[in-house]
């Protein structure tokens, strides 16, 4: 379970203090699909980064599976990210000189540091590409040889590589046409039905409606919640 208690995030701009998040209280249960909506600058990505241990709050407490992440050092936060969280980004963030399969292998290389054989690693990466519904014949293609939808499937497969219980997706359909975006959301929904906790940041209500509930942010605060 993910829990945020009275989370505030501020930045200094000269003498001015900017509130990215203000007194946010939020609980996300294991296996939920939660969508986070709000206008540009509302704090959506900041919230996702704090949940994903990429950033720390200025005030408040953040818990992942009852572990208070505020108190952890960088190495401990890296361990949580590797074991518990998979990230999916709007621009895919694939390494252009690597094949689809090699991109999916990367998290396994960083996690196991040689403790997993090359054969085991490739087998796991192929399993993840299959879970992401990308045909095996594209495994040896480089990102520039793949469509946007195919690249996002590779990114999802990479997020699944270490079998994390939580998937965080920041505008996962933002670089895709509506038809391809819908297919990607159906894939995330399927992963959720298979037990993954999914948290999606989006500006698109049609994307948000794939969730179990929508959290609306405005000026760094939760404006309202809607159960679907």
Q: What is the model's pLDDT at position 114?
A: 78
Which positions of the chain have pLDDT values less than 70?
none
Q: Which two tokens stand for residue 129?
A: 């590409």
Cβ burial 133-168 (10 Å sphere, 16+ → b, else e): ebeeebbebebeebebbbbbbbbbbbbbbbebebbb
The whole-model pTM stands at 0.92
d(CA 126, CA 161): 10
**Which H helix or E strand runs over 22?**
strand 16-28
Q: What is the model's pLDDT at position 113?
A: 83
Close Cβ partners of 14 (under 8 Å, ≥ 6 residues apart): none
Catalogue all structural domains in the chain, each as residue range(s) with its CATH number. Answer: 2-227 (3.40.50.300)
**103: closest CA among 156, 33, 164, 36?**
156
Burial class (CB in 10 A: 0-12, 13-18, 19+), 22: middle
214 bridge partner residues: 35, 226
d(CA 182, CA 208): 11
Q: What is the model's pLDDT at position 91?
A: 86
- Calculate the alpha carbon distances from 39 to 87, 101, 185 in Å: 22, 36, 20
Q: What is the model's pLDDT at position 115?
A: 85
At 170 the three-state DSSP class reads: strand
Burial class (CB in 10 A: 0-12, 13-18, 19+), 189: middle
Q: What is the model's pLDDT at position 111?
A: 87
């Amino acid at each position: 379970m993910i829990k945020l208690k009275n989370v505030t995030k501020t930045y200094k701009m000269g003498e001015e203090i900017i509130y990215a998040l203000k007194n946010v209280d939020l609980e996300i249960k294991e296996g939920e699909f939660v969508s986070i909506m709000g206008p540009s600058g509302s704090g959506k990505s900041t919230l996702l980064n704090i949940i994903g241990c990429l950033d720390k709050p200025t005030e408040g407490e953040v818990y992942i599976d009852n572990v208070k992440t505020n108190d952890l050092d960088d190495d401990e936060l890296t361990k949580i990210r590797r074991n518990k969280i998979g990230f999916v980004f709007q621009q895919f963030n694939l390494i252009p000189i690597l094949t689809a399969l090699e991109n999916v292998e990367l998290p396994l290389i960083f996690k196991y540091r040689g403790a997993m054989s090359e054969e085991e690693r490739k087998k796991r990466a192929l399993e993840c590409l299959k879970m992401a519904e990308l045909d095996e014949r594209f495994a040896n293609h480089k990102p520039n040889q793949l469509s946007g939808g195919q690249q996002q499937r590779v990114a999802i497969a990479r997020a699944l590589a270490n079998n994390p219980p939580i998937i965080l997706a920041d505008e996962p359909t933002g670089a895709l046409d509506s038809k391809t975006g819908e297919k990607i959301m159906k894939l995330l929904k399927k992963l959720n039905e298979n037990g993954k906790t999914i948290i999606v940041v989006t500006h698109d209500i049609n994307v948000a409606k794939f969730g179990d509930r929508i959290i609306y942010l405005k000026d760094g605060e939760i404006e309202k919640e809607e159960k679907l």
